[in-house]
Amino acid sequence: MTSFADDVNTLRVVCQANTNPPVVSNAQVTRVVNALEVYCEFDIVGTQYYIKHTKPDGTSTTTPFATALLNSNNKPHVRKTFDMTGQAYGVHTFTIYAKDMYNTTTYEVYTLQKDWQKLNIANAPVIWPKVEPGIGFITISWPAWYKEAEFGKYVIQMERPVKTIEVTEYTTTSYKLTGLTPGDTYSGTFKVYDKAGNIIYSMQNPPRFFGHVGSIAPTISNVSITPNPAGTNQEIRFLAIVSDPDTNITHVNLVLQEYVETTDSKGNLITQMGKTTTLIDTDVYNTKTYHVSHRFICSEPGKHKLILKANGASPNEFTQAEYSVIVQQGLDPSMPKISIEGPNQVPLKQILTDGYQLKINIISVDAESENIKAVIDWGDGTVKSEMIELESLSVSTTGKEGSPDFRRILSGSVYTKNYYQKPGVYVITVYIQSELKGKKLQSQPVRLEIRVTE
């Protein structure tokens, strides 16, 4: 207490009490979804306070004065939420200012800092772990618990293999489980505990997660396609070896995709996808290496594609490769094949008497062919078409019966004549035409140059 006299000798008394700032306890700043919550307790009931929020760039905002309310333990406390949507990542500072018990002096009583991080966080008390496969491992990840203040630990309880994994760091939201067998499936459940060790979340509907361990994809080697190019209706053999480096081959699929080439009204080439034929579609058991072998024929000429797919132990573990096959009409084994024979030089006098005799050797014609005829251009303006009787030809077989390349073919020789009227050099051109199952076939033309002398 102090006293003094003013100019009019009036005695005045002023009472001045020494004041102290409130004592702060249990101060913390924690994350709640996309917000930060500042909490603390005071020792003085009715404390007036405000909070200054300083951002990473140095700018700040201040809350209005408020009165600390009593919590369930009859402690005056602060619980203030700051929305962090759109806020910069980095360290945010929260400074708490409070008045003394007489509300005469404001003090800076506590400072809290929080590193605001980019974090996948649950927006409700529900967590669904995500399992990603790797080669010999799985990675389990999850969103952070939505209330950091009540978080104690994440617990992963593996059922296969039996193992308990505890993660006590709030922002650690993934775990890599290694040493697993490639191709196998593993399962477990996920829980969250509070700081007191009580379960605050456990997986339900479904109650567990599953993870399939990845493995190295199969390899394809020693690919052979013979012949290529091939003829229509000619047997083509496909060979390959499929191997799996760390698990087993489970499925092999081989598909033939046909492409048809046409031209539009302007003469531009157009390639259209034709029919798809499955050549192999088989499950494979307990083998690391599978030998692919298949014989097939293509009845349509053009570009074709073979697609080979091999699956390993994992559903997503597969290898697919494509191979081009060219099929040409001219290489068709059903196409007639011929040769011709005759003297290269003959006197005109002999020809006028006996004619020029030409021998047509039919090397092969499919035995199911109909309307077989020889077309002869004698080179002197005379063109003849002569039917060939099937009875004049003999039947033989090629290939193994029951296989795609098995055929019954006709062969033999026929003769024909022409009477040239004057000397000269003539080029004889011959080809064979036939019909096989509604399709017209024609051999490659063969030629013979002869000289008719005086």
The 10s digit of each residue's pLDDT in 99-133 is: 999 999 999 999 999 999 999 988 878 788 999 98
Tens digit of pLDDT for each residue in 327-349? 876 666 667 888 999 999 999 99
d(CA 117, CA 323): 51
The confidence score (pLDDT) of residue 14 equals 43
Q: Give the rounded percent of residues in the chain with a pLDDT score beyond 70.
A: 93
pTM for this structure?
0.51
Task: Give which of 359, 364, 352, 366 is closest to 421, Cα–Cα.
Answer: 352
> Domains plus CATH for the chain?
24-116 (2.60.40.10), 130-212 (2.60.40.10), 219-331 (2.60.40.10), 337-453 (2.60.40.10)
User: How far is 373 from 360, CA to CA, in rounded Å?
Assistant: 11
Q: What is the mean pLDDT of residues 181-194?
A: 89
Q: Do 442 and 431 touch, CB atoms closer than 8 A?
A: yes
Q: How would you classify the pairing of strands 130-134 and 199-202?
A: unpaired
Per-residue pLDDT band at 181 (split at 50, 70, 90): confident
Number of neighbours of residue 102 by Cβ within 10 angstroms: 8
pLDDT digits (tens, 9 = 90+) for 13-62: 444 455 799 999 999 999 999 999 999 999 999 999 999 999 999 999 99
Count of Cβ atoms closer than 10 Å to residue 156 Cβ: 19
* Average pLDDT for 395-402: 80
- Residue 185 is predicted with a pLDDT of 86
- Radius of gyration over alpha carbons of the chain, in Å? 47
